[in-house]
Structure 1
Amino acid sequence: MVKIGILTGSTRDSRVNSQVAEWVKSMADKRGDADYELVDIKDYNLPRFNEPIPAIMSKDYTTPEAHVWSKKINELDGFIFVTPEYNKAITSGLKDAIDYLYVEWNNKAAGIVSYGSTLGVTATNDLRLILSVPKVAVVGPSVAMSLFTDFQDMREFSPASFHEDSLNKVLDDVVAWSTALKTIRNKVEAR
């Protein structure tokens, strides 16, 4: 069974991101087709990204927190990124968390659940482009939610029921692609 990390995309104290991530996890756990784990980037206390590029490629991190982060991402086969849209992009905390690593992301699958005043669509497109560099295969379907209709007063997450169908399509593809890409990683590691 593949291991899928549900990654939070915000580290703000006042974030609603964890509510959305917990909803994704509760829906995913009903499926029984993968081992789903909530991975809160805030728990890793990653400082602003400041690693020398050669360290990223060699896993010789100078930031102690990066070692723990590396271990966690390395043990996962795929991801569901839960990202808010800030100023038409993903958060700086999420971007830093991605940038700290490279090989740990390689040949894994990801799905995206976004939200914002314009459904987080630009953040989704931004994240697709960012993840292409460390060789993460982002699945086609995504979930896009509105701060105005899927949240009460932009503070309490209350998703429309039709989002469950969209989320299940994302999870279907992430599990299938993660399973297939695991065989590719095994071949690459065997070389």
Structure 2
Amino acid sequence: MANRILVFYGSYRSDRMGIRLADYIVAGLGRRGEEVELVDAKAIGLPMLDRMYKEYPRGEAPPAMEALAKKIRAVDAFVFVAGEYNWAIQPGLKNLTDHFLEEWFWRPAAIASYSAGRLAGARSNSAWHAILAEMGMVVISSTLALGPIAQTLSPEGEPIGDGGRALEQAFARFADDLAWWTEAAKAQRERRAPPY
């Protein structure tokens, strides 16, 4: 049975490079038989955080927030495609994740970072580990880090050059690691309800 996975992408820029990596991951996981969907923070357009989903009276959350909460609760795992802005995380992706809390609990998350430079979003990647763990996810140890992204993936999300070849090798381990933790978490949730 396929694992259900949401891939989150958070850039609001007009010339978005990271969408290449998001598309690559969606396609790669799909080829492995996973049921995968891209969640684009810009397309969803949640407002700057005022109230978390859980702070709305039942049935009164904005429709986009309600629909996303339902999707998050229904899946088995998450992938966060994380760009780096000024040594930090993207505000669009952080804003989207902060609208939810319990919805994330007890599922694995993977991080794929990117940047226009050679450090490949490493600082953002590292920061997201702590953030996602605090939000109740089990963050897998395998990550992807692309930089410079324009020399690694074509505009269509196809691997190019030496960076693309390295990505394809790293992706297999990344996807295997995510699948293992996803299946382990599913089995544990079936065996015993989470403690809270």
TM-score normalised over the length of structure 2: 0.83
Q: Which amino acid aligns with 1:40?
A: D
Secondary structure of the structure 1 residue equivalent to 2:120: coil
After superposition, where does 1:152-171 map in structure 2 within 5 Å?
A: 152=151, 156=155, 158=160, 159-171=163-175
Q: Distance in 2 between matches of 1:60 and 1:190?
A: 26
Give the fraction of aligned pairs with identical amino acids, expressed as a percent: 27
Q: Which amino acid aligns with 1:35?
A: E
After superposition, where does 1:53-72 map in structure 2 within 5 Å?
A: 55=55, 62-72=61-71
Query: How far 1:109 moved relative to its partner?
Result: 0.6
Q: Distance in 1 between matches of 2:65 and 2:37?
A: 19
Q: Which amino acid aligns with 1:160?
A: G
Tell me the equivalent position of 1:26.
27
| Structure 1: runs of 5 or more not aligned | none
Q: Which amino acid aligns with 1:108?
A: R
Secondary structure of the structure 1 residue equivalent to 2:64: helix
Q: Distance in 2 between matches of 1:6 and 1:93?
A: 14
RMSD across aligned positions (CA)? 2.6
Query: How far 1:155 moved relative to its partner?
Result: 8.7
Q: Distance in 2 between matches of 1:104 and 1:75?
A: 9
Cα displacement string for residues 131-173 of structure 1 (whole angstroms, at most 9, x for unaligned residues)? 01121111111111112xx415x99464521111211211111
Equivalenced residues, count: 186
Q: Which amino acid aligns with 1:7?
A: F
Instruction: Compare 121-130 and 66-75 and name the one that shifted more.
Output: 66-75
Determine if contact 1:16/1:155 at 8 Å carries over to the other structure: no
Query: How far 1:83 moved relative to its partner?
Result: 1.1
TM-score normalised over the length of structure 1: 0.85
Cα displacement string for residues 93-130 of structure 1 (whole angstroms, at most 9, x for unaligned residues)? 11111110011100111111111122111001111110
Q: 1:188 aligns with which of 181, 188, 193?
A: 193
Q: Distance in 2 between matches of 1:47 and 1:35?
A: 28
